[in-house]
Each structure stands twice: as C-alpha cells, then as structure tokens.
C-alpha cells in the first residue's frame, strides 16, 4: 500500500504532504491546481519516470518549480508498506541530474536512480511498462476506448496486454526477411555474370609472370650492391683528397694573414715612438692623482648638499609666508564682515522674539478652542429641536434662531482674530529666523577671527628667517665655486695619467704579439712545405667518383624499374585473389542467408500463432474475471455479464442480454446508458489490471467522469463507494468533479491554486 507522499518544489507544489489509506483516495481541484502532478510524482518515485516524461512532452528540468519562485532542485518522497516492511523512496531532481535512495525500515537499502528503480520493480513484481498499462490510467476518461477508432482501440488494448511486442517483433522479422531476400537476389545475380574458371586461369598466369620478374629483380639488386661498394670507395678517396687539399689552402691563407698582421704591428709600434723615461712611474702617480680627485669630489658634494638643504629651507619659509599672508587677508575680510555686530545684543533680541511668539501662539490656541466649543454648542442646539443643550430649558424657534445667529457671529469674529494673530506670528517667526541667522553668523566669524590672532607677528618672523637663509646660500655659493675649480683640475690630471698608462700597456702587448707572430710564421712555412696534394690530384679523384656514380645510377634505375614491375604484378595477383575470395564469401553468404531465411519464415509464422494463442488466453482470463466482478459492480439484472470480443481488427466490449433463456451479446455502446457504459469500462480496466498484475491491487484513475452525464456520475459514485473497495486494495481518483465527494468512506483532498498570480498549490483534507 502507498502510505504517504511529500512533494518539495515539484511542479506547482512548494511543500505538500499527503497521507493515503486503503480504499478510495480522492484528489479534487480545478484544472491546473496540481492534481495530476501528484500521480505523476507517485510514478516518478516508483520508476523514475511517468507517461509525459517518457514520451518527451516534458523535460526533467521542467519538473522543478519555477513559479512563484525559481528553485534549483525538487524532491519526491514516497512511503510504501510491502509484506510488513516500510519502504521510503526519495528522488531528488537538480538542473544537472538526479539522485535517489531507497530506505527499508529506517536503514538505507539502495542508492543510485537505476538501482532504486530495479529494486522497486523487484519488490512490486511490476516494471514501469506494466504499471503504465495496467494501473495508471491517464487523463482520458473511462469511456476512452469506446470513443476511438477500431484500429486505434486494437493498437492500444494490444499495448495494454503486452501483445504489441509480438506485432513489433513480427514487423521487424518481416523487415529482416525482405532485406535478406533482396541481398540474396543481388548476390545470386553477381555470381551468374562471372566466369570463375577464366578468373583462376588469368590469376595463375599473373603469378608466373611475377615469379619471373622477381628473379630479374634479385639480379639487379646484386649488381647495384657491387656498384654501390665501388662508389663508396671512390667517395671515401675523394673525401680524403679534398680534405688534404683544403688543408693546404687553409695553411697558405693563414700564412698570408699572419704576414699581414706582423706588418700592421711593426707599423703601429713605429708610430708610437720611443717609450717615455717616466713610464715606469705612471702607476704611482695615478694612485696619487686618484686620491686627490676623490678628496676634491667629496668637498664639492658637501657644498652641493648644503646648497640643496638651504634652497629647500627657503622654499618652505616662503610657502609658510604665502599661507600667512593669505590668512592676514582673510582676517581683514572677517573684521569688515563683523563691523559693529554685537553677539550679546543679538541673543537678547532673539530671546525677546521667542517670548512674544510663545504668548501669541497660546492666545491663538485659545481662539481655536473657542471656535471648536462654539461649533459643538451649535451642533447640539440644532440636534435638540426645542431644548437648550446646556440647561435643557425649553426654547421656541425664534429664540433658537437668534441664539444660532449669535453663536455664528461669535465664530466669525473669533476666526478673524485668529487670522490676524496667525499673520503676526508668521512675521515674528520670519524676523526671529533672520536674527538667529545673524547671531549664529556672528559667533562663527568670532571663532574664525580667533584663529588669526598672531598672524602679523608670524609674518614678520618668517620674513626674517628667509633673509637669514638667503645670506647662508650666498656664502655657500662662493665656497662651491672654489670646490668646483679644484675638482676640475684633479680630474684633468687623472685623465692625463690614465692615457699615459694605457699607452705603456698597449706598447707591451704589441711587442709580445710581434714575438708570437714571428714564431707562428716559421711554423706555417714548415706546414705548407709538407702539404703535397695539389689541384691535379683533386680533379683526378673527382673524375673517378663521377664515373662510379654514373654506373651506380644505371644499376639503381634498372633495379627500381624491375621493383615497380614486381609491385604492379603483385598488386594484380592480390587483386585477383581478393576477387576470388570475395566470390567464395558470396557463395558462403548465399548458403548461410538461405538457411537464415528459411528459419526466419518459420519464426514469423510461430510469432503469429503465439500472438493469437496468447490473445485468446488473456481475453479468456479477462472475461472470466469480468464475469465474476460484474455482479459486484452492477447489481441489476438487465445485463447478465460483459465480455471483450477479440476480432481480427478490433476489440469490442459487449453486454450479455437475456433472450429466451439464452445470452445475446451486443456492443455495449449500442444499448447501455452513459453510467452503464462507464461501469462496464471500469470493469474492463480493473480486470485487465488484475490479469496483467495479479499481485498489485491498485488503480489510478485520472478524470474518470470525462464526458459522462450526471446520471452516469451518480452511478459511478455508488460503484466507487460500495463495490470498488471490495475488489481493489487502493484506488486513486483525480477529478475536478465535486459530485465525487459523495463517495462513501473516501479520503478526500482538496487542491487549490491561484493560477493568475502563479502561486503554489495548497492541499487540505476535507
């Protein structure tokens, strides 16, 4: 039994919980209130899908609530009781996938969506296809099978009974048979147009030609190998000769370069003249000059740093002086703005105005109160036709009119006085605002003026410091000039000594290089005398290599031509062998396919026979059970029973009518009322479900009163309440028809939703 379900962010359900019981469970609500989505959720919890999702008319991400709020995930939780155990199935949907768990008696029993579905199918002994055919009736109404065409009715009932699988198998077998026949015809046509003996003779001839050409190729390869060895020997000798010749050329070139370099060095030494007698003391003199330059540079840096510090100080003093002078100008502006203003006097004037305004405001309040009280008195007088509202003394109409006029005059005069007071109070408030503004401005200016009290003395002090710093800058400038002159002289002497040292060092290097060059010339002249290979030897080696290369090329061309012919003949032989192998394969395929075709034809005949036998057995079982159930569902005697008559192209639901002691079977649609047809269709669906799924006594009926008149609905109410619970353990009915609330002992849920504003579904148990 399905015990309960909880929906979170599922379609229009934000958080819905429902407890189900044995017998009839009725879900009532208008279209779009979320009724059918509860049944879809039951199917989804059990098998991970439901009809609309399976057909692809809904996407799994569309099951997550998107109104009134966009949610990121949805959840269905279903509890079942099976053989004394309590199972809880939870399936969660997210934008990028789904998850599932199955809990048995509080312990996790299975995880992963596929594993949970497999376990539920095992527990219920029903898979989704059987569940959707036998238990879950979609929103088509009980009379659906009476209203559709014969071919569609046969197709759908065959589908419910599982016989559609036979039709599909027979159709596929027929397709395969036709395909095999077509292939056999094509391949037999191929064999009929080919001379296989001629192909074998031609192939053998090509093999003989290939063997002969392979022998020629081997001889060509041997000749090429000999020519290649001679060519390698000539190449090796040419390389050695060329290397020796290049060595002679390089020695000669190096000898000329060395002679040229010796001449350059001798010329440069001659240009440098005789060495200076003090050249050996240049190092010591350079050290002394470097120390003098470093001392002069330090003194100059001190003067520069002092100058920078004094200039920075003067700039700071002048910036402060500029700021102080601006402050002095600001002080003069504040004094001019203050003039002869006195804050104490202004404060007294403001307080006097406050006192005057308070007094007039109190007087104005009294006038308003007088107007209110007089108005109330007038209202009371008007209510009491001939009695004074104060003293309850009787008054006549003339006196009453006089009193009313007098009081109206009092109100008019009082309102006039109040308006005069309002005008005067407004003027006084304007004047008070102006006085307070003058007072606050005077206080603010006084505070600002206090900031500039010592500005004149500060200006004089800054001017004195600027003058003193400028005198220091002038004195430092004279010292800096002297230091610059000393630094320049020290650097000139240091540069002169450095040039002298570089000349002495270069003279030494040139003399050493001249001695090395003389030794190198002697060595190169000896090496040149020992080099014996000349241009004649090189040309002879090149001619020998060219001749051997030509002979090797001829041998290679001969071998390549033979190899190309061998490859061509080999390709031709392999091609013919493949063609012969293919023809052999065709023969083998024809034999196998003929065997398959014969057996498939037998199998097709067997499918038709099995389908017919199974249909007869199922219809017999259904009719036997419908006959037993009919008395419970239909307690009247005008129809003895009902049955399904399986014809070649249709299923007919027929009623049994008494005709002189015999039963006359007629189509129920031609004799029964709307209610009677509904009961008959209900019996058919229940019986089919019990035959297909004998262990699971459930039924889910979506809008069963569709297209049924009121009399038929009242008949269904009686059947649902009295008869159906005797046959089935648990029935779920989804409807918008309020009349079904009358079903006896039904557990009724009312589903409501404001579709205009897109609100969530609300559920109440009634």
* Residue 233: pLDDT over 60: yes
- How far is residue 591's CA from residue 302's CA, in Å, rounded to a whole number? 116
Please report the pLDDT score of residue 279 as a whole number.
Answer: 63
- How far is residue 693's CA from residue 699's CA, in Å, rounded to a whole number? 11
* Residue 85: pLDDT over 80: yes
Dihedral through CA 280, CA 285, CA 290, CA 293, nearest 10?
A: -150
- How far is residue 589's CA from residue 600's CA, in Å, rounded to a whole number? 16
Domain boundary among 431, 453, 475: 453
Please report the pLDDT score of residue 107 as a whole number.
Answer: 93
**Average pLDDT value for residue range 95-121:** 91
- Phi, psi torsion values for 585, nearest 5 degrees: -65, -40
* Residue 311: pLDDT over 80: yes
Please report the pLDDT score of residue 375 as a whole number.
Answer: 86
CATH number at residue 736: 3.40.50.300
User: E strand or H helix at 604, and its extent?
Assistant: helix 535-633
Q: With contact defined as beta carbons under 8 Å apart, do 418 and 297 qualify? A: no
Contacts of 475 (CB under 8 A, 6+ apart): none
Tell me if 631 is assigned to some domain.
Answer: no
Are β-strands 23-28 and 13-19 bridged in parallel, bridged antiparallel, or unpaired? unpaired
CATH number at residue 447: 1.10.287.510
Contacts of 582 (CB under 8 A, 6+ apart): none
Domain boundary among 438, 453, 468: 453
Q: Residue 371's closest CA among 436, 421, 322? A: 421
Residue 431 tokens, joined? 């004047």
pLDDT confidence bin for 639, thresholds 50/70/90: confident
Domain boundary among 453, 482, 504: 453
Vertex 734 angle, CA 730 and 737, to 5°: 125
Dihedral through CA 285, CA 287, CA 292, CA 294, nearest 10?
A: 150
| CA-based max dimension of the chain | 170
Residue 71 tokens, joined? 């949610």
Buried/exposed 86-97: b ≥16 CB within 10 Å, e otherwise: ebbbbbbbeeee
pLDDT, tens digit (0-9, with 9 covering 90-100), for 115-152? 999 999 999 888 888 788 778 766 555 555 666 677 77
Residue 534 tokens, joined? 């000349």
* Residue 105: pLDDT over 90: yes
Tell me if 214 is assigned to some domain.
Answer: no
Residue 632 tokens, joined? 């419970």
pLDDT, tens digit (0-9, with 9 covering 90-100), for 458-498? 888 888 888 888 888 888 888 888 888 888 888 888 888 78
For residue 96, give the 3-state DSSP assignment.
coil
Residue 128 tokens, joined? 């989704």
**Top-confidence range, 189-193, 341-345, 635-639:** 341-345
pLDDT confidence bin for 108, thresholds 50/70/90: very high
Tell me if 161 is assigned to some domain.
Answer: no
For residue 756, the enclosing domain spans: 2-135+693-765
Candidate from 137-146, 236-245, 330-339, 564-573 with smallest mean pLDDT: 137-146
DSSP, residue by residue, 303-348: HHHHHHHHHHHHHHHHHHHHHHHHHHHHHHHHHHHHTT--HHHHHH
Q: With contact defined as beta carbons under 8 Å apart, do 464 and 320 qualify? A: no
Residue 288 tokens, joined? 């002394």
Candidate from 135-144, 278-287, 536-545, 708-717 with smallest mean pLDDT: 135-144
The number of helix segments (H) and strand segments (E) in the chain equals 16, 15
Residue 119 CB coordination number (10 Å): 16
Q: Residue 164's closest CA among 132, 187, 136? A: 132
Q: How many domains does the chain have?
A: 2
Please report the pLDDT score of residue 202 as a whole number.
Answer: 81
Please report the pLDDT score of residue 100 as a whole number.
Answer: 95
- How far is residue 331's CA from residue 343's CA, in Å, rounded to a whole number? 18
Q: With contact defined as beta carbons under 8 Å apart, do 676 and 639 qualify? A: yes
pLDDT confidence bin for 747, thresholds 50/70/90: very high
Candidate from 34-43, 134-143, 545-554, 579-588 with smallest mean pLDDT: 134-143
**Top-confidence range, 231-245, 353-367, 529-543:** 353-367
Residue 528 tokens, joined? 């040149």
**Average pLDDT value for residue range 696-714:** 77
Tell me if 496 is assigned to some domain.
Answer: no
Tell me if 673 is assigned to some domain.
Answer: no
* Residue 713: pLDDT over 80: no
- How far is residue 13's CA from residue 6's CA, in Å, rounded to a whole number? 9
Q: How far, CA to CA in Å, does 155 sit from each of 128, 138, 456, 683, 691? A: 19, 16, 114, 20, 18
- Mean of per-residue pLDDT scores for the chain: 83
Residue 663 tokens, joined? 């039963």
pLDDT, tens digit (0-9, with 9 covering 90-100), for 588-621? 888 888 888 888 888 888 888 887 888 788 888 8
Please report the pLDDT score of residue 276 as a whole number.
Answer: 66
Q: How many residues does the chain have?
A: 766
Tell me if 441 is assigned to some domain.
Answer: yes
- Phi, psi torsion values for 355, nearest 5 degrees: -65, -45
- How far is residue 396's CA from residue 399's CA, in Å, rounded to a whole number? 5
What's this model's pTM, rounded to 2 decimal places? 0.46
pLDDT, tens digit (0-9, with 9 covering 90-100), for 367-426? 888 888 888 888 877 776 555 555 555 667 787 788 888 888 888 888 898 899 899 989
Please report the pLDDT score of residue 278 as a whole number.
Answer: 65
- How far is residue 765's CA from residue 568's CA, in Å, rounded to a whole number? 91
Tell me if 237 is assigned to some domain.
Answer: no
**First vs last C-alpha separation in the chain:** 22
Please report the pLDDT score of residue 393 as a whole number.
Answer: 57
Contacts of 248 (CB under 8 A, 6+ apart): 528, 531, 533, 534
- How far is residue 219's CA from residue 53's CA, in Å, rounded to a whole number? 77
Are β-strands 662-667 and 651-659 bridged in parallel, bridged antiparallel, or unpaired? antiparallel
Tell me if 97 is assigned to some domain.
Answer: yes
Share of the chain above pLDDT 70, in %: 95
**Top-confidence range, 59-63, 508-512, 695-699:** 59-63
- How far is residue 382's CA from residue 395's CA, in Å, rounded to a whole number? 12
Strand order in the sheet with 136-137: 136-137, 698-702, 730-735, 23-28, 747-752, 762-765
**Average pLDDT value for residue range 151-177:** 78
Share of the chain above pLDDT 90, in %: 15
Please report the pLDDT score of residue 110 as a whole number.
Answer: 92
pLDDT, tens digit (0-9, with 9 covering 90-100), for 654-666? 888 877 778 888 8
Candidate from 65-69, 160-164, 760-764 with smallest mean pLDDT: 160-164
CA 585 to chain centre: 54
* Residue 64: pLDDT over 60: yes
pLDDT confidence bin for 708, thresholds 50/70/90: low
């Amino acid at each position: 039994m399905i015990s309960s379900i909880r929906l979170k962010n599922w379609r229009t359900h934000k958080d819905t919980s429902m407890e189900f019981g044995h017998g009839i469970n009725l879900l009532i609500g208008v279209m779009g209130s979320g009724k059918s989505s509860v049944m879809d959720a039951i199917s989804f919890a059990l098998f991970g899908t439901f009809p609309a999702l399976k057909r692809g008319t809904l996407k799994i991400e569309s099951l997550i609530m998107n109104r009134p709020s966009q949610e990121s995930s949805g959840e269905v939780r279903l509890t079942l009781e099976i053989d004394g155990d309590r199972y809880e199935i939870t399936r969660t949907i997210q934008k990028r996938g789904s998850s599932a768990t199955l809990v048995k008696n509080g312990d996790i029993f299975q995880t992963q969506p596929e594993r949970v579905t497999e376990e539920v199918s095992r527990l219920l002994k029903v898979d989704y296809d059987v569940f959707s055919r036998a238990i879950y009736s979609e929103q088509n109404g009980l009379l659906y099978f009476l209203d559709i065409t014969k071919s569609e009715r046969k197709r759908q009932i065959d589908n419910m009974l599982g016989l559609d699988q036979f039709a599909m198998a027979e159709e596929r077998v027929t397709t395969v048979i036709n395909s095999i026949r077509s292939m056999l015809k094509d391949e037999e046509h191929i064999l009929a147009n080919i001379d296989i003996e001629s192909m074998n003779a031609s192939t053998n001839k090509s093999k003989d030609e290939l063997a002969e050409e392979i022998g020629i190729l081997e001889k060509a390869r041997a000749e090429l190998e000999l020519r290649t060895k001679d060519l390698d020997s000539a190449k090796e000798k040419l390389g050695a000769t060329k290397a020796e010749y290049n060595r002679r050329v390089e020695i000669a070139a190096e000898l000329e370069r060395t002679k040229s370099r010796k001449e350059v060095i001798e010329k440069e030494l001659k240009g440098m003249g005789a060495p200076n007698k003090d050249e050996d003391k240049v190092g010591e003199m350079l050290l002394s000059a470097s120390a003098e330059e470093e001392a002069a540079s330090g003194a100059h840096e001190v003067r520069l740093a002092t100058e920078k510090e004094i200039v920075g100080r003067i700039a700071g003093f002048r910036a402060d002086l500029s700021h102080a002078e601006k402050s002095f100008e600001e002080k003069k502006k504040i004094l001019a703005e203050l003039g002869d203003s006195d804050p104490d006097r202004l404060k007294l004037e403001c307080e006097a105005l406050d006192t005057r305004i308070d007094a007039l405001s109190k007087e104005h309040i009294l006038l308003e109160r007088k107007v209110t009280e007089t108005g109330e008195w007038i209202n009371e007088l008007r209510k009491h036709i001939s009695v004074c509202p104060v003293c309850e003394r009787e008054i006549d109409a003339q006196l009453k009119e006089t009193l009313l006029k007098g009081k109206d005059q009092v109100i008019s005069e009082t309102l006039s006085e109040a308006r005069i007071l309002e005008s005067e109070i407004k003027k006084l408030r304007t004047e008070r605002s102006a006085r307070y503004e003058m007072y606050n401005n005077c206080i603010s200016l006084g505070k600002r003026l206090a900031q500039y009290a010592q500005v004149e003395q500060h200006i004089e002090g800054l001017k004195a410091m600027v003058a003193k710093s400028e005198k220091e800058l002038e004195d430092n400038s004279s010292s800096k000039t002297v230091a610059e002159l000393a630094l320049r002289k020290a650097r000139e002497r240091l540069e002169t000594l450095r040039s002298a040292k570089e000349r002495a060092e270069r003279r030494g290097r040139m003399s050493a290089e001249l001695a090395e060059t003389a030794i190198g010339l002697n060595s190169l002249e000896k090496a040149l005398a020992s080099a014996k290979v000349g241009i004649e030897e090189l040309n002879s080696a090149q001619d020998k290599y060219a001749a051997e290369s030509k002979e090797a090329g001829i041998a290679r061309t001969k071998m390549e031509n033979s190899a190309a012919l061998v490859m061509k003949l080999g390709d031709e032989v392999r091609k013919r062998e493949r063609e012969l192998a293919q023809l052999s394969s065709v023969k083998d395929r024809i034999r196998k396919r003929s065997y398959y075709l014969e057996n498939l034809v037998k199998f097709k005949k067997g499918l038709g026979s099995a389908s017919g036998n199974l249909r007869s057995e199922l219809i017999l079982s259904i009719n036997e059970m419908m006959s037993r159930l009919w008395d419970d569902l239909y307690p009247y005697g005008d129809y003895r029973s009902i049955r399904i008559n399986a014809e070649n192209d249709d299923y007919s639901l027929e009623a049994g009518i008494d005709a002189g002691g015999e039963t006359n079977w007629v189509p129920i649609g031609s004799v029964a009322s709307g209610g009677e047809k509904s009961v008959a269709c209900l019996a058919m669906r229940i019986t089919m479900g019990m035959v297909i799924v004998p262990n699971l006594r459930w039924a889910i009926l979506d809008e069963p009163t569709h297209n049924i008149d009121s009399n038929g609905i009242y008949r269904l109410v009686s059947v649902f309440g009295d008869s159906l619970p005797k046959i089935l353990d648990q029935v779920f009915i989804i409807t918008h028809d309020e009349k079904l609330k009358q079903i006896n002992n039904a557990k009724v849920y009312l589903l409501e939703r404001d579709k205009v504003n897109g609100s969530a579904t609300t559920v109440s148990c009634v």
